[in-house]
Amino acid sequence: MTFGERLWAAMDRRGALCVGIDPHPSLLHDWGLDDDVAGLDRFAMSVVDALAGEVAVLKPQSAFFERHGSRGVAVLERTVAAARAAGALVLMDAKRGDIGSTVQAYADAYLDPASPLCADAVTAAPYLGFGSLSPLVDTALAHGNGVFVLALTSNPEGGEVQRAVGADGRTVAGTVLDHVRAVNARTPGWGSVGCVVGATIDPVDEDLDVGGPLLAPGLGAQGADPADLRRLFGNALTSVLPAVSRSVLAAGPDPAALRRAAESTLDAAVRGAGEGPSGRDQG
């Protein structure tokens, strides 16, 4: 199965929710853990044990593992493997972007099953030109994995680049959306290349339907609520995968509390949006 097919099935079966694994020092402290490799391991594996059998996608933020050096990366490897073994899809939140052999090396690290860091998908930055991501996209598709490309992010600084207008009259974000749509048009069904569109942004005059998934961070701690999903995404709503982190992770370390927080977030998102992914025909 392609990543798009696997993601669609997971969203249909478990609900459209992505939970981040973001071991902020403050969250480790709130959980009664030290900000060290042992605390990192305890935190990450507790989230996996509580949620990998429940939610569609888990999204480890690689930076919070990398800050602990090689031992932290080893924890990240275990986290990815354990989450996938328990049935969750894993989206590596690494936001990589480069050119040539370097971006191919990132692809080999995060999307090739031969790598211990291989996830189901990875986030990528297109600001060296969308074509620079071709090795990442090609490697993902060759192995049945996916890529989520930054398009309209939830941070306020993003607009100075993403909403800038080029000589052709298109915004940078609109050009990224067009490129992703073109990649997905090459294959039948729901595409394996998605875009990141923050749930906190103001409505935009762009076609957000790219024929694949739309990762929508910003619910909860960043201020967006489920009603914002319908307001922003409109007809593309059935493609949306809401992403949350702190608002769920703050319920830990009790596993039952983590599961309740994820369930209530999903229930609120479904009620607020009024739709779910099962309503879309994959063709």
The answer to whether 107 and 136 have CB atoms below 8 angstroms apart is: yes
Nearest alpha carbon to residue 242 among 59, 45, 9: 59
59 is catalytic: no
The answer to whether 194 and 215 have CB atoms below 8 angstroms apart is: yes
Question: 21 pairs with which residues across the strands?
Answer: 60
Structure-block tokens of residue 218 = 């910003």
- C-alpha to C-alpha distance for 206 and 196, rounded to whole angstroms: 14
- C-alpha to C-alpha distance for 217 and 19, rounded to whole angstroms: 10
Nearest alpha carbon to residue 106 among 64, 78, 134, 69: 134
The answer to whether 246 and 196 have CB atoms below 8 angstroms apart is: no
The answer to whether 24 and 60 have CB atoms below 8 angstroms apart is: no
CB half-sphere exposure, 259, CA atoms < 13 A? 12
Please tell me whether residue 89 adopts helix, strand or coil conformation: strand
- C-alpha to C-alpha distance for 162 and 150, rounded to whole angstroms: 9
Structure-block tokens of residue 214 = 């739309």
Active-site residue identified among 24, 78, 84, 95: 95
User: What residues contact residue 160 under an 8 Å CB cut-off, 6+ apart?
Assistant: none
Active site residues per annotation:
95
